[in-house]
């Protein structure tokens, strides 16, 4: 009884509140149940105007629908590459425009709100900031699509409650993204929680996508996890792709080459078809 009094219910995010699935629109791309599986792809970090444009062309040719690239990188060490900053957001926007894809990038501070609302189609809130309530309230005040990653140590209900912050602020355009959770297992960077896909679909009306790159931390496992996510009913993927992973400024070990990405997309199309989806 005590616990029931202390755990508030999420309302706006719940199926009980809204039975029809939320479809989030980013440019011409629709993300959600019944829509084609949306594949967001690109490097972990925007590194130069040339490289983001080159990689954009390659992932677009393979069938990606959204271009990803971080320009503000939340790194474990303060001595690691922290991202290009505002200039990189400009390069990402330009690469997206040139290749005909909306763009997604991670925002780490509400001070960057104007930069992101003006230049980015989907604002990513990273795993480390899932419960940064100031940030959640800030993106809740816009109508920009928000991709909310699951915190590495967050339960499903905590994650949905974080989404509730954005919805309660007045922004209905929330996409959830599973990117693996922290467990005792160290064979992978995080532990992919695949059951979360049907659970989120049952509990909420929000789109759910899967990030196989941060979930595994190893390019070798990215394809298998991607295909499994689509088979489980995910509405999309977020995949790190780099054409020179050894030289990547961040997350090279989990980045797949554009050729492998093209191969993954071929297989993903077959899996999507098997579960009644397009890609």
Residues forming contacts to ligand PEP in the complex (CB under 6 A) are: 44, 70, 74, 106, 126-128, 149, 179, 211, 214
Quickly count: other Cβ atoms within 10 Å of residue 90's Cβ.
16
Closer CB to Mn ion, 53 or 68, in the complex: 68
In the list ligand PEP, Mn ion, none, the entry touching 149 (Cβ below 5 to 8 angstroms by class) is: ligand PEP
Q: Which helix (H) or strand (E) holds 148?
A: strand 146-149
Pairwise CA distance, residues 39 & 211, whole Å:
10
- Smallest distance, Å, CB 226 to ligand PEP? 15
Closer CB to ligand PEP, 12 or 124, in the complex: 124
In the list ligand PEP, Mn ion, none, the entry touching 127 (Cβ below 5 to 8 angstroms by class) is: ligand PEP
Angle formed at CA 32 by CA 101 and CA 96, multiple of 5 degrees: 10
Pairwise CA distance, residues 197 & 212, whole Å:
13
Q: Which residue is nearest to ligand PEP (CB)?
A: 126
**3-state DSSP assignment of residue 204:** strand
- Smallest distance, Å, CB 44 to ligand PEP? 5
In the list ligand PEP, Mn ion, none, the entry touching 126 (Cβ below 5 to 8 angstroms by class) is: ligand PEP
- Smallest distance, Å, CB 149 to ligand PEP? 5
Contacts of 79 (CB under 8 A, 6+ apart): none
What six digits make up the tokens of 99? 């290749």
Pairwise CA distance, residues 182 & 192, whole Å:
9
Closer CB to ligand PEP, 107 or 230, in the complex: 107
Residues in contact with Mn ion by CB under 5 A are 44, 251
- Smallest distance, Å, CB 213 to ligand PEP? 8
- Smallest distance, Å, CB 152 to ligand PEP? 8
Quickly count: other Cβ atoms within 10 Å of residue 279's Cβ.
19
């Amino acid at each position: 009884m005590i616990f029931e009094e202390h755990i508030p219910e999420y309302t706006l995010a719940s199926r009980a509140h809204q039975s029809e699935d939320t479809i989030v629109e980013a440019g011409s791309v629709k993300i959600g149940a019944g829509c084609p599986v949306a594949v967001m792809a690109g490097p972990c970090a925007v590194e130069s105007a040339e490289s983001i444009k080159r990689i954009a062309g390659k992932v677009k040719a393979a069938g990606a629908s959204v271009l990803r690239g971080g320009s503000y990188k939340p790194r474990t060490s303060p001595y690691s590459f922290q991202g290009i900053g505002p200039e990189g957001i400009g390069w990402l926007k330009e690469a997206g425009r040139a290749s005909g894809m909306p763009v997604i990038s991670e925002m780490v501070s509400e001070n960057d709100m104007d930069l992101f609302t003006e230049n980015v189609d989907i604002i990513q809130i990273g795993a480390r900031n899932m419960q940064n309530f100031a940030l959640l309230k800030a993106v809740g005040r816009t109508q920009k699509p928000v991709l909310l990653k699951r915190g590495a140590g967050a339960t499903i209900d905590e994650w949905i409650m974080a989404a509730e912050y954005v919805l309660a602020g007045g922004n209905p355009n929330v996409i959830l993204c599973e990117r693996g959770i922290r467990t005792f297992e160290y064979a992978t960077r995080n532990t992919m929680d695949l059951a979360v896909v049907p659970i989120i679909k049952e509990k909420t009306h929000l789109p759910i996508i899967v990030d196989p790159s941060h979930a595994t931390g190893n390019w070798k496992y990215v394809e298998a996890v991607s295909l499994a996510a689509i088979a489980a009913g995910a509405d999309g993927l977020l995949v790190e792709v780099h054409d020179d992973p050894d030289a990547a400024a961040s997350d090279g070990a989990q980045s797949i080459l554009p050729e492998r990405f093209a191969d993954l997309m071929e297989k993903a199309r077959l899996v999507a078809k098997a579960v009644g989806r397009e890609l």
